[in-house]
Amino acid sequence: MLTVFRGNRAEHLAELLAAQLLLTPPGPLETVQVVVNTWPTSRWLGEQLAVGLGGIAANIRYPFPGSQLRQIVNGVLGETGADQDPWRASQLVWPVLELLPQLVEQPEAASLKHWLGRYPQHGSKLELAHWQLGRSIADALDDLALYRPELLAAWWCGEDGPPLPPEQKWQRLLVGRLRERLGVKPFGLQVLEAIAQLQIKAPPAGSLPDPLRLFGLSSLAPIQVQLLQALSVHTNVDLYLLTPCRDLWQRCTSRRQLLSDAIALQQPLDGDWLLQAPGLEARFGRLGGEFQQLLEGSGESLQGQWQEKDLFVAPASSHRGQGPAPLLHQLQQQLADPAAQPLLQRAPADSSLEFHRCPGPLRQVQVVRDRILQLLAADPTLQPRDVLVMTPQVDGLAPLVAAVFGDQEATGVPLNWRLTDRSQQSEASLSRSLLELLRLAGERLTASALETLLESPALQGHFQLSGAEMAALHPLLQRGGFHWGLDAEERGGLGSGSLSWVIDRLLLGLVLPCDPGLAPAATAPLASGESIELLGRWLHLLTRLRHWLVELRRPRCCLAWNSCLRALLSDLFGDGDQFVNNGQDWELPLVLAAIDDWQQAAAGCNLELAAPVVAAVLDERLAADSGRFGHRSGALT
């Protein structure tokens, strides 16, 4: 039985889930699993279930759809090793990169060869452009397995499949070579096999959860929806769907009339959705409309029993004050039930829904800050922790938010705020510094880049330098003549103006007077004017940075990079003890785990990687947990 609980309030869906757990409690040692799509959802849902279950919500796991469905498919097929799928994009990229040199020699890959010709590869050295190409191909194949499994199945069996343009025929050749190398079917083909088995016989005992609960999902691939429908024949599948409308996709009337067997699984909504659906639903509800269409299906796509249970709230109907209900409540009710709220009416003092025209991003942030301060002043019960500011451009607006919300002198009101939903390295000191070092190793060292790197609290803490002491180093380097370049080799044989040249000047300044004309080997002594003890710490930091920049410029295989990075972390950042004092002791284990994950995925890869490629690989893995800490920060978020 596939049951879809639809509602327009997430908290009410959570209350319903808690009530069902109370009515049919699991066994004392049974682990309850609720599939969610984000880390913040799991944290919020855990708190809501704790309230609904009497204060404690224990032994509840919140897996993501991909991992949970992969585990179920493996159980149906009687296989193991769900976490070692070589067709995942993060692991598939390495065999793709190794197969590309052979693939481009085939006539079908002429377009690919032409592109690679713009970025020639020297031996087995892997440059950043080649890595980006391999990663894009791996991502495309990963998506292909979910969204076009029939095409991938044809290629897997050696068939041509639907006709392809000549410049794309190399894709079929690549799939065939990956089949020979990996010997394991992609997840999409395993899902097709599992669906076929579920249609003819029951799965092994204990291989399916009962029920399978999914909460707050906004979309799934068509083949994943087919899998849920096939599973509903043998187990209960409960899906808690948050949607503003009961019939979002059915509002596209001509689409509804054309619906035939399995059309919802084969033809997603096209551009006419914008013309045939009301404006608000068309602009913001297309993804949800397609998902509802996939869930409803028709004909053969509905393999098991199906039922819908609605839990929609009509907030405008419960308004008891004078005048019309708040405009936001009317809009919510109009989406849920258009007949009950045909027209929108706005009271003169209604501020439930506001639009502000702003000339640029800076003004947008300023208006948001000022409006929040007005709301806090008007309502003493409102706290900063109750305010959530949402934007699709968090990283782009981060500097403006820090400047505007941190400017207490402009407002006279302290605001406790925090930026979330960003990659961990955007806030972490150690990982950000490591990535900057790796990127610097692939480009010219400039004074501004070095200054940015030296601002790292992780470096300052390990070399026992305060922020003021580190700030005093920058004008000293400028006075010493540092402009760009690590050494004479990078500057084409001219050492003056490089970092190594300035280090030599400072060292000579310790033992020689700064007399005019005294310049051994064209290197004049430079007196720092600071204590020898402070100068020693500066020189220690600069010489170690110079050493590691030289080391990082040498391409290495993945295994050699493992030992190199661990030695670098120990030398420049220590064992992480200094992070305990500032509450960032989680950083070093996170970076080491990212390195281990990369090493496991690239096991057996003999390509030599340049430092910028390593930076891209680690950046991707460190960003995997970017939203893990969510939006419940205890401050204005």
Q: pLDDT tens digits, residue range 356-397? A: 999 999 999 999 999 999 999 999 898 888 888 988 888 788
Residues 219 and 302 in one domain: yes
Provide the token pair at 337: 């039930």
Residue 20 has pLDDT above 90, yes or no: yes
Integer-rounded Cα Rg, in Å, for the chain is 30
C-alpha distances in Å from residue 242, one per residue of 19, 218, 289, 333: 17, 8, 12, 15
Work out the pLDDT band at 545, boundaries 50, 70, 90. very high
Q: How far apart are CA 192 and CA 196, in angstroms?
A: 6
From 83-87, 327-331, 568-572, the region with the lowest mean pLDDT: 83-87
User: What pLDDT, on the 0 to 100 scale, is given for residue 299?
Assistant: 42
CATH of the domain at 109: 1.10.10.160
Query: How do 556-557 and 608-609 pair as beta strands?
Result: antiparallel
Residues 159 and 303 in one domain: no
Indicate whether 256 belongs to any domain: yes
Residues 460 and 530 in one domain: yes
Indicate whether 374 belongs to any domain: no
C-alpha distances in Å from residue 612, one per residue of 219, 352, 432, 573: 34, 48, 14, 20
In 314-429, beta strands by DSSP E: none
CA 408 and chain centroid, separation: 32
Mean predicted confidence (pLDDT) in 138-154: 90
Domain count, the chain: 4
Which residues constitute the domain of residue 626? 424-442+553-637
Helices (H), 574-610: 577-581, 587-601
CATH of the domain at 285: 3.40.50.10930
User: What pLDDT, on the 0 to 100 scale, is given for residue 315?
Assistant: 82
Q: How far apart are CA 555 and CA 120, in angstroms?
A: 16
- pLDDT tens digits along 322-355: 888 888 888 888 888 877 767 888 888 888 899 9
Residue 520 has pLDDT above 90, yes or no: no
Mean predicted confidence (pLDDT) in 260-274: 52
Residue 114 has pLDDT above 60, yes or no: yes
Residues 603 and 524 in one domain: no
Nearest Cα neighbor of 335 from 269, 243, 256 is 243
User: What pLDDT, on the 0 to 100 scale, is given for residue 583?
Assistant: 47
Indicate whether 391 belongs to any domain: no
Residues 295 and 257 in one domain: yes
User: What pLDDT, on the 0 to 100 scale, is given for residue 381?
Assistant: 93
- pLDDT tens digits along 24-35: 888 888 899 999
User: What pLDDT, on the 0 to 100 scale, is given for residue 586?
Assistant: 67
User: What pLDDT, on the 0 to 100 scale, is given for residue 123?
Assistant: 67
User: What pLDDT, on the 0 to 100 scale, is given for residue 561?
Assistant: 93
Q: What is the pTM of this model?
A: 0.82
Mean predicted confidence (pLDDT) in 476-494: 85
Residues 169 and 123 in one domain: yes
Share of the chain above pLDDT 90, in %: 24
User: What pLDDT, on the 0 to 100 scale, is given for residue 263?
Assistant: 46
- What order do you get walking across the sheet with 212-215 strand by strand? 60-61, 32-35, 212-215, 237-242, 2-7, 306-311
Residues 228 and 282 in one domain: yes
CA 480 and chain centroid, separation: 42
Residues 283 and 253 in one domain: yes
Last residue of a domain, one of 550, 568, 590: 550
User: What pLDDT, on the 0 to 100 scale, is given for residue 440?
Assistant: 92
Q: Which carries the bigger pLDDT value, residue 317 or residue 248?
A: 317
Residues 203 and 307 in one domain: yes
DSSP letter, residue 487? S
User: What pLDDT, on the 0 to 100 scale, is given for residue 278?
Assistant: 60
What CA dihedral angle connects 13, 17, 19 and 20, to 10 degrees? 140
Indicate whether 372 belongs to any domain: no
Q: What is the DSSP string of 316-347?
A: GGG--SSSSPPHHHHHHHHHH-TTT--S----
Work out the pLDDT band at 428, boundaries 50, 70, 90. low
C-alpha distances in Å from residue 594, one per residue of 90, 260, 495, 607, 628: 12, 47, 37, 19, 15
Residues 569 and 431 in one domain: yes
User: What pLDDT, on the 0 to 100 scale, is given for residue 16?
Assistant: 94
Work out the pLDDT band at 571, boundaries 50, 70, 90. very high
Indicate whether 368 belongs to any domain: no
Work out the pLDDT band at 304, boundaries 50, 70, 90. low
Residues 170 and 22 in one domain: no
Phi and psi (nearest 5°) for 461?
-65, -40
Q: How far apart are CA 503 and CA 520, in angstroms?
A: 14
Mean predicted confidence (pLDDT) in 231-240: 91
Q: How far apart are CA 363 and CA 587, in angstroms?
A: 35
Indicate whether 561 belongs to any domain: yes
User: What pLDDT, on the 0 to 100 scale, is given for residue 240?
Assistant: 93
From 70-79, 86-95, 293-302, 412-421, the region with the lowest mean pLDDT: 293-302
Q: Which residues contact 531 (CB under 8 A, 6 or more apart)?
A: none
Indicate whether 273 belongs to any domain: yes
Residues 240 and 224 in one domain: yes
CATH of the domain at 473: 1.10.486.10
Indicate whether 319 belongs to any domain: no
Cis check: omega of the bond before 211, within 30 degrees of 0: yes
From 134-143, 186-195, 512-521, the region with the lowest mean pLDDT: 512-521
User: What pLDDT, on the 0 to 100 scale, is given for residue 191?
Assistant: 92
Residue 84 has pLDDT above 80, yes or no: no
From 98-102, 201-205, 331-335, 577-581, the region with the lowest mean pLDDT: 577-581
Mean predicted confidence (pLDDT) in 617-621: 89
User: What pLDDT, on the 0 to 100 scale, is given for residue 249?
Assistant: 58
Last residue of a domain, one of 530, 550, 570: 550
Last residue of a domain, one of 152, 180, 208: 180
